[in-house]
Structures are given as C-alpha cells and as structure tokens.
Structure 1
Amino acid sequence: MSSRPEGKASSRRQPVARHGVLRSPNPFVQILTVLGAIVAVVVVSVAAIGGFYVWDAARAVADAGVSIGEDEAALPPTIGEIEGGVNLLLVGTDSCEGQDIALFPRCAAADAEGERNDVTMLINISDAPRRVTVVSFPRDMIVSIPSCTGEDGTQYSAMSAQMINVSYMYGGLACSVLTVKKLTGVDIQFAGAIRWTGVINMSDAIGGVDVCLSDDIQDGHTGLDLAAGQHTLVGAEALQFLRIRHGIGDGSDLGRISNQQQFMSSMVRKLQSDGVLANPGTLLNLANTAVKQVTSGQLVLSNELANPQRMVQIAMAVRSVPYEDIVFVQYPTVYAEGGLRVLPVTSDADVLFAALAANQPLQLTGSTSDGNGTEVVGEATAPTSTPTATPTPGSTEAPVVEPAPTETAVALPSTVTGQTAAQVTCTVAER
C-alpha cells in the first residue's frame, strides 16, 4: 500500500503518475555518454593535447557540485587510475525548466511542473580486472522510498510503495541515491543528473551515434519518423530515439530501455574508436560542451564526482575495458496487477549484485527480443586486454607472456535481460 509523505510544504505539488500507457515523454541520458565523455575528454585532453586550460573550466564543474551524503576528503595531488571499484548513479530528469516548448510541447501542459528521474541507471566499475555493468531501473517500478531531505530543506517521510521516478522530486539527486541504495544494498559513491537539452547538446558534440532499425518506425508522441536501416542520430533526433516506446517492442518502458541499450552500446564503440578519442578537435568540443551543461544547470554532479582529478581517475579505469565486459542490463521485474506498473524481482536481482560484488564476469541468458525493443544482429570487434609480461629471474631473454586466467561467468536469470557492447542490435517494431 502506498503512503503519502508527511510534513512536506503545502506549496509543493503531489507527483503525477507517469506510466507505460500514458502520453508522457521521457528524456534519456546514459552514463557512458555523459560521464564517459567528460572523463575521457579530460584525461586525453590533458595528457595528450596539453590542454591545461581544461582544468580552469573544470573548476566551474566542481563549484556546481551537490552533496549526496558525506563528502570525501580532498584528493592527493596525483593522477592515476582510481583504486578499487566504483558505483555511480546517473539519472535523466523530465524538468521543463529552460526547455524549448517547440521541441517539448508537453512542457506547456498543466502537469509540466516538478522534476522526476524518469531514467535511472546504476553504473558499476569493478576493481581489477576492470568490468563495467550498467543497470537500468524501469521508471514505473514500485519501490519503497526512504525519508529524504529536499534541496530547500523540506523533510519528506518514507513511502512504502511509489514509482521509482518520483524519488528525484522528493529530495533531488540525493534522494534518488538513497532509494537505489535501499533497493540494491549497493554503496553509491558518485552521482549525476541531466536534463533534455543537455542530452541534445552532448549528442551534437560527439558527432552523433549510429543506430539500426529492423523496421520502419513512426511515433507521433515523439515525432520520430525513420525508415528501416542504419542511421546516424544527432541532437533532437537522438533524444527522440531515446524517448520512443510507442511502436517498438511491447510498447512499454521496458522496450524503451532495450532500445536505449542499443544506443549506449553504439556510443561505447564510438567513444573507443578513432573517430572520437583520437580526434583532438572533437575531444575539446566535447569537453567544452560538458562544462557548459553544468554551468547552465542542464547537468548536475555530486560533490564527489565534480572534481576534474576524480574524473581522470575514473577515465583511466574504464578507457580500455573490452566490449564483452561492458554489459547493459535491466533490473528484473514482473508486471503488477493491471499491467500499468512493474514490481521488482529481488531474488533474481540478488544474483546480479552478488556477481558484481565478487567481480565475476556475467553471462546473459535472457533474449533481447522477448518483449523488448531490439534484436541481436551481429558482433562488434572488441578490444582485448593486454597480457601481463613477466621477466624470468636471472634471464636476459624476452619476458614470458602470461595469459590472463580464465574465469567462469555467472549465468544471470533470464529475467535480467540486456546486451554487451560487443553485440550489435537493431530496433524492432511493436509486434
């Protein structure tokens, strides 16, 4: 049973339920577009280009940081790969503040006020050997929300059963972090949030992302009209692709998540390709764009993340992760009675998070096409880890190359669907 928060200011409105059958469009931002772009740009620009002015611009990022708990002590004056593992929460919000009404006509509607985390993703970067796992949480999933303090100091009581996408409204980024912590038991050190215009600007700066459609797609809700085949999406069209759910998969938010995973996988391959990381002009443009998103309020980072040195450390940890070890999954759910909401399947999720805690490789067993929005059509050529060279004691011969040990992957329950960055997928029309 749902409980309403007590003690909230009377001037604050109650959240409007936004679910799979309603007309409410959602933004999407994915972590490897935003964080990956920022940190990769900083580390490559500073180390290879000598663009030390980036540090001055990055100070604006640090000044705009928000607290999600106890802030860490100042970092030592060294640059190196971050030690240990990383858990980072990234949300995409539906705020209409500062948005173009022509692009987002919903912002003229009476229910446009408020800001919700309509996209919520937890990014796990493991300790050595490095792996990256991105867990997407359906916005219609019913969870308990802990007591939170709003950015204006308003206290919100705990709620037993609410959609996860209202957590941002009840306390901003910090409340979304607390909610995901409570659900997963994962300690989250870093967090960020982005709005619609920020997604458009970042897509433009990186030069677009390649996507594949198995069928023609027409969606009057987002305005997207694309023929079957390959497309390079930029700006507003990229955002439309990320928001679309009508006409793909099963028409729900679950189908949209798998569509977004296609976009993320393609983005990862582009970020690791010569088209971006080896192009100084693109990198500098991306760095400037990222900083502008923070200073304009389109991108919010936690204090722990809004630090250029910390960004570099994270970038150095993820820059060479093989495609097959970059995995995108949906948090497992079942439809609630009536089919308008979904409920978490915590027993299956526990298998996933136990594997992440033990830093074990993951094996996906669920099909990406089972009610979702994409199907696998091929494999991308993945970068491989460099074997460790160990010199033989007392020998002048060349070092002996020792291959990395083989690890047994954890077979995830079929309810944990998704794909790796090595898999090339195409969007399918609603069946």
Structure 2
Amino acid sequence: MSEPTRRSARTAAVPTVARHGRLKRSSVTLAILKIIGLVTAVAVASVASITGIVVWDLSRQVKTVSLGDPDAPAAPIPEIGAIQGGVNMLLVGSDSRANSVYSYGEDPESELNDVNILLHISQDHTSAVAVSFPRDTFVPIPECDDGDGGTNGPASAQKINTALMYGGGGAKAGLACAVKTVENLTGLTIPFAAIITFDGVIEMSNAVGGVSVCVAEPIEDENTELYLDAGTHNLQGVDALKFLRTRYGVGDGSDVTRISSQQNFLSSLIRQVKSSDTLGDVGKLYGLAGAAVRNMVFSDSLRNIDTLVQIARALQPIDLDKIAFVQYPTYETDGGLEPNYDSAEVLFAAITSDQAVQVQAPPEGERTGTVADPNAPAPDPNAAPAPESTDPAAPPATEVPVTVLPSDVLGQSAAESRCTVGRTLEDQ
C-alpha cells in the first residue's frame, strides 16, 4: 500500500538506501496510639473508601488502544507497590489539535509524533534512562495496521515522526506503529506506551504547580510566541507548552538543541516530583493522575490505574544521578538526521544489561541547548551520606554498574541543574 499523505512543509527527501537498525511516619508512644486508635481506624476506613472511588472514577476515564498483538495477556491487577522487574515505556507527544480547548494556530490536518521518549527502568530499580529520539531522524518503519483494516509500509527510511500517521493516527493504530518502529530501531520490547497531546502538557504542568527552569540567555520565538528573559522561571500551562515546543528560540534552532532544552525541563520536573514537597501533596498527586487520564491515551497494558502507580513507585527510590536523559545519537544528512548506529549500540547494550549510564561533556564546538547552571550549589565534600531507605519495598542498596556513553550521546542526569541556551530574533 502506498505511504500515507504527509505534510509537505515538514517532509524531506527520503534517501534511496536505508540502514536497518538492529511520610517518614512519625514515631509515637504506645499510650498515644491507644488514645487515637479508634480515630485512626475511622480515618483509614474513610481514606480507603475515598481511594476506591477515585481509582474507580479514573479507571473509567482511561482511553486505551491496542499495540497490535491479540495474543498478549492482559496486564495483571497488581498491588500498589513498585512494579516487579524492569520497565520499557514509550511516551509519544502528538501535535494533534483534535478536540483541543486551547488554540495553537492552524490545524495541520495530520498527526505527527514529534516527541518520542523511551523510558527504561532497570530490573532492580537502581537506575533509569529516558531516551529522546529526534523527530527528523530517518529510520525504517515496519508494516503497520492503518486502523481501517489495511496496512501502510514498510518504509526503508522515513522520519520517525511519521510513524503515528502510518498507523492511522493516535485514535487508531498510530501508537502501535510508533512502538513497532522504536522496537525495530532499538531491539527492545516495549510493553507500555502512551500518547500525550498539547492540552495534556498544559494540564500536567498545572497539576504540579509549574516547573522551575533556568534560562541562560533571553528566549525569543515568534513561532510559539515565547519570550523569556535570562533567569529562573516557573512555567506552567500554556507557557510550559511554549517552552517545550520552542525550537528557533533555543540553542542553534535545531530539534537536537530543542531536545536538550526539553531535557532541562524534565530534569527539573523529576527533581520536583521526587521532592518531599510534591510527594507529600495529595492534591498535586491526584491532580496529576487526573490530568494524565483525561489527556492521554494509553496502551491496553496500562488500562489498570494501579500499573501506572507501580511504574511511578519504581522511580521513587532511584538516586537522581542514576536517572539519565539522553538523545538517540545522530549525524546530519540531506533533509534530516541519520542514526549513528555505533554509538547507539553502546547505549542500548547498557540499557539491555540494566547498567546506569553516564553522559560525557560534549566535544568542543558541539551544539547543545543547555549549559551548566552557574548558581547551582557545589557538592559539599563533608556532607554526611544519605540515610538508607526504610521502605520495605525498596531494593537493598547495591553498587550500580555504570556505562560511560560516547561523547555524541548528548544529555544530562536528573541531578544536574542546567540552564537553557536562549536565542534572540536577531540571531535567527
């Protein structure tokens, strides 16, 4: 079957030859416990009842799509604890304006997966890595169901952001096609996936009360209408979306430097979510869950809300310096980017063997969308080591093996405080 129609303004020539990728609870005395025992029992019963209603309500709102395997067993109903074993989950950011309550300009009348982030959590929950795939990377796209009883593809080399369209869009088999494409490229099996739209980004940022980001130089972008002075900004709502979308206002105006800026945002977000302030705020946590369910489409494997909670809990004990945000390595080619399979092999060998990864400083002159935050506090060499976790669900402390990635695998750890490199109109 012929390839799906694509937006001409964002489509480049396709090469003729393609390579194929292989509450610490406070201690109390026994006397106090006896006095408040009855009150506690009533409170626990009330909370349990409310929680049951909340989970039932959220479960009714979950939208799911099939990943195309009719023989795949349904995800078991788990207990509320960290998920057992490792996790591979693909998060797709769609540019769809369908049913949007906000305005983002003219509807492109097609749907692209412009953001593709693969989250891997190690089997023992001691490390995690989120891999961003630049949208302009030419990759093989396998044959995909089009959602209407037919098929599209295979294609030897198309931009990765067309995978949603090959599957008929996010409301049909598009997510399954994006998963198949990334599985083919990485050699990994990806049982979990979700799509988030522009509205979803806005609602999620509102639910956490905004995300603090550092800007090294002013950002000016007429396309997204984002204008930020140098300094630290708390971004939420439409401003957060503008920051994540801006391309011409950061770095060198490329999608590669935009990803660096997005990773700066995500690193700040994960630090905030892991902080006691956020984790102890029930309103924020419930708001975040509700925003996710109302604004995302999940794979069938994530139909049960408990599974989402389990995946989140698996991240909780991981040290920030063992959570990495990296870019899939590429090099420039005519009309886009070509995968650097040699460097990618090192990255995915580490992921397959559950090793933490360490990002090197980029080579001199290498384009990057962020710089070190000059105001970040320096580590205290005399600081006492962090206390061991008292959570019985947490795995025992172990020495985590680390793979140092090639210098062209750009990124940062969640522990790093960085600033986005802005770009003014006169430089565009």
The change in CA–CA distance for 1:123 and 1:349 in structure 2 (over 3 A counts) is: same
Q: Which residue of 2 aligns with 1:56?
A: 56
Q: Which residue of 2 aligns with 1:393?
A: none
Question: Is 1:104 matched up with 2:100?
Answer: no
TM-superposed deviation, 1:132? 1.3
Normalised by the size of structure 2, how large is the TM-score? 0.81
Deviations along 1:331-350, one digit per CA (max 9) or x if unpaired, are: 0000003xx30100011001
Superposition map of 1:123-202 within 5 A: 123-171=119-167, 172-202=174-204
- Within the candidate set 347, 371, 377, 1:375 is matched to 371
The change in CA–CA distance for 1:230 and 1:160 in structure 2 (over 3 A counts) is: same
The change in CA–CA distance for 1:47 and 1:290 in structure 2 (over 3 A counts) is: farther
Q: Which residue of 2 aligns with 1:398?
A: none
The change in CA–CA distance for 1:147 and 1:310 in structure 2 (over 3 A counts) is: same
User: Would you say the 8 A contact 1:60–1:291 is kept in 2?
Assistant: no
User: Would you say the 8 A contact 1:388–1:404 is kept in 2?
Assistant: no
The change in CA–CA distance for 1:15 and 1:52 in structure 2 (over 3 A counts) is: same
Aligned length: 374
Question: Structure 2: 5+ residue runs without aligned partners?
Answer: 13-45, 168-173
- Within the candidate set 358, 368, 371, 1:363 is matched to 358
The change in CA–CA distance for 1:208 and 1:49 in structure 2 (over 3 A counts) is: farther
User: Would you say the 8 A contact 1:265–1:422 is kept in 2?
Assistant: yes
Q: Which residue of 2 aligns with 1:42?
A: none
Q: Helix, strand or coil: the match of 2:100?
A: coil
Question: Counterpart of 1:13 in structure 2: which amino acid?
Answer: T
Q: Which residue of 1 aligns with 2:271?
A: 269
Deviations along 1:316-373, one digit per CA (max 9) or x if unpaired, are: 2112211001100000000003xx3010001100101111111112121133983111
- Of stretches 267-276 and 373-382 in structure 1, the one that deviates more from structure 2 is 373-382
- Within the candidate set 402, 409, 420, 1:416 is matched to 409
Q: Which residue of 1 aligns with 2:341?
A: 346
Superposition map of 1:370-409 within 5 A: 370-377=366-373, 378=376, 386=388, 404-409=397-402
User: Would you say the 8 A contact 2:116–2:132 is kept in 1?
Assistant: yes
User: Would you say the 8 A contact 2:220–2:227 is kept in 1?
Assistant: yes
Q: Which residue of 1 aligns with 2:313?
A: 316
Superposition map of 1:240-279 within 5 A: 240-279=242-281
- Within the candidate set 3, 9, 14, 2:6 is matched to 14
Q: Helix, strand or coil: the match of 2:224?
A: coil
TM-superposed deviation, 1:288? 2.6
User: Would you say the 8 A contact 1:19–1:341 is kept in 2?
Assistant: no
- Of stretches 164-173 and 52-61 in structure 1, the one that deviates more from structure 2 is 52-61
TM-superposed deviation, 1:119? 0.5
Question: Counterpart of 1:423 in structure 2: which amino acid?
Answer: E
User: Would you say the 8 A contact 1:366–1:415 is kept in 2?
Assistant: no
Question: Counterpart of 1:68 in structure 2: which amino acid?
Answer: L
Percent identical residues: 43
User: Would you say the 8 A contact 2:120–2:129 is kept in 1?
Assistant: yes
Q: Helix, strand or coil: the match of 2:300?
A: coil
Deviations along 1:76-97, one digit per CA (max 9) or x if unpaired, are: 5634322211100011011121
Superposition map of 1:212-231 within 5 A: 212-231=214-233
Deviations along 1:285-313, one digit per CA (max 9) or x if unpaired, are: 223322322xxxxx110000121121222
Separation (CA, whole Å) in 2 of partners of 1:405 and 1:290: 33
Separation (CA, whole Å) in 2 of partners of 1:355 and 1:47: 42
Question: Counterpart of 1:126 in structure 2: which amino acid?
Answer: S
The change in CA–CA distance for 1:224 and 1:127 in structure 2 (over 3 A counts) is: same
Cα RMSD (Å) of the superposition?
2.8
Q: Which residue of 2 aligns with 1:24?
A: none
User: Would you say the 8 A contact 2:91–2:116 is kept in 1?
Assistant: yes
TM-superposed deviation, 1:219? 0.7
Q: Helix, strand or coil: the match of 2:302?
A: coil
Question: Counterpart of 1:84 in structure 2: which amino acid?
Answer: G
Determine which structure has more spread, i.e. the larger CA radius of gyration.
2
User: Would you say the 8 A contact 2:324–2:358 is kept in 1?
Assistant: no
Q: Which residue of 2 aligns with 1:206?
A: 208
Q: Which residue of 2 aligns with 1:67?
A: 66
TM-superposed deviation, 1:407? 4.3
Question: Counterpart of 2:409 in structure 1: which amino acid?
Answer: V
TM-superposed deviation, 1:113? 0.7
TM-superposed deviation, 1:380? 8.7
